[in-house]
Amino acid sequence: MVAAFEREVRLLVKGWPTIPREYGGRRLKFFESGESVLVCGGVGAEAARRATEAVIVLYQPELVLSVGFAGALHPALKVGDIFSPRHVIDARDGSSVDTGTGCGVLVSGGTIAGVEQKRKLANSYGAQAVDMEAAAVARGAQARGVRFMAVKVISDEHDFAMPPMDRFVDANGRFRAGSFAIFAVLRPSLWSRVIQLGSSSAKASRALYAELEGYIRGSKKPEVSEPQSHPISKVIH
């Protein structure tokens, strides 16, 4: 499993042994439990690509999952809903990966999407949700012949105005939470949105934990199906 932030998956990896390992001159923290391993690579395509390559080379998995938070592009998707897309599109070049399972479309953008950008992505790609990493994880898995799928949870709805967080992501994909906290504290106009985002993130994290636990225990298994069109009502789990 490849995630961006540890806080997205903290409930899942609580108690898992932590194994620091180096790959490509970078030190990454891997969480291991039985036949499962999870790495938090950081925010954005490049961080996700590095983490995906590392986990494949070091662990030789049969399946790579891009897991974590996503923003809703469709009003039917609410905070805490699980979204496993059939297609993952890279907004940088329009390339698409068919996961062979799930339904709907996830688009990976280059920035944290605000309300207007969400509207444009939904119209341009017919997508129901947006993230920043899944397309890079898919491409990395595909390059090495490893099966890929995405399991995302909605952390912000289609009309939620995200605080300005992009400027606090550094070149290595790390989110400078302390700097953002200082920035937000000094701007009362952001307080309600930051509080709402924190509450939504906690709800999303709990839902993702329950979903991924099912995969790890074996009670949930991806089913490969033929490409088909799915209405939004069938996208929501």
The DSSP 8-state label assigned to residue 232 in this structure reads G
Instruction: Tell me the three state secondary structure of residue 184.
Output: helix
Q: Is 226 exposed, middle or buried (0-12, 13-18, 19+ CB in 10 A)?
A: exposed
Q: What value does the mean pLDDT of the chain take?
A: 89
Partners of 30 in the β-ladder: 19, 39
Q: Give the model confidence (pLDDT) of 60-90 as tens digits.
A: 999 999 999 999 999 999 999 999 999 999 9
Report the predicted TM-score, pTM, of the whole model to 2 decimal places.
0.87
- Report which residue type is found at 228: Q
The DSSP 8-state label assigned to residue 175 in this structure reads B
Domains of the chain: 2-224 (3.40.50.1580)
pLDDT band at 28 (very low <50, low <70, confident <90, very high): very high
pLDDT band at 221 (very low <50, low <70, confident <90, very high): low
Task: Judge whether residue 224 has pLDDT over 60.
Answer: no
